[in-house]
Structure 1
């Protein structure tokens, strides 16, 4: 009788339309800094997978589905890489279309004035393990103007899958390295 549930699970899993994506190669600095911010346990639903593209956008486009807490990088042939993300808290969320204006490894963080006003304890920081921007940042612009929103890593990986940021899209550090390696400056980002 135990064999029936095992066969049923195997049949169900064969219908799954996703597969894991290998981790990117890391530099010595990445490895050292990331070891200081170990990944929290998280729902496997927010792991990085190759999936059938649900967005129907053109290849190279980044699509953030805020309600799903998922980011998709559209690939050719109807595929996409799906990543779990933290999105903006309801009061700070945003949507629209932007362009990746620049990219940075272990970026410095300069909190905007409105954030400092809300949280006077925050201050600028150099890149590193304690920095809220994490391992990489993709800076978003709208018609050449900085939106002040970023897609970036995090020093709070336990919040992946939540609406907990001040509007930025946060990713696990290993995932933002993977995205950073795949997305060029000039790529379109759609936040829905």
Structure 2
């Protein structure tokens, strides 16, 4: 699931950045969401996989604080990016003639920057306090299942929900794969010709 999440979101970023037709605000925000999902999942899952492998639940205090910091950062970033994407769709639907004027590159960059700002100031301090002061007894199994659903399943499904159902992304993905496959075949064919010439 972790590999599907990383490669699925990375593929979305590569496809959007390589296709000139996808250089629009909506896809700019989608690629940022994919990046945030990769970071969000990478905050907890690698450590979890190590713990499963070593059959140890240990984590240092510094490691825990660092993990909580980045977990809240990227969770908040996801929330803000989804809000910005909703605003982008609102403008596209309600003000289609003014869309390109309203959603200019400067505003798109500013919206992403506001989403980052550094999230930390809004969510980090309050959420960190709740995380660290929470001592109420609860079922560790139910917490683990809820954590996996939130940290692994949702980011894994985001490429399918927001991108791969979109016909423009599907077309760009097909073009991207065909280009890479053709380039690989041409390079291997030229190597074969070089060997034959020698």
Normalising by structure 2, report the TM-score. 0.22
Q: Which has the higher contact order (CA 8 A, sep 6+)?
A: 2
Identify, as 1 or 2, the structure richer in strand.
Answer: 1
User: Which one has the largest radius of gyration?
Assistant: 2
Identify, as 1 or 2, the structure richer in helix.
Answer: 2
Normalising by structure 1, report the TM-score. 0.23
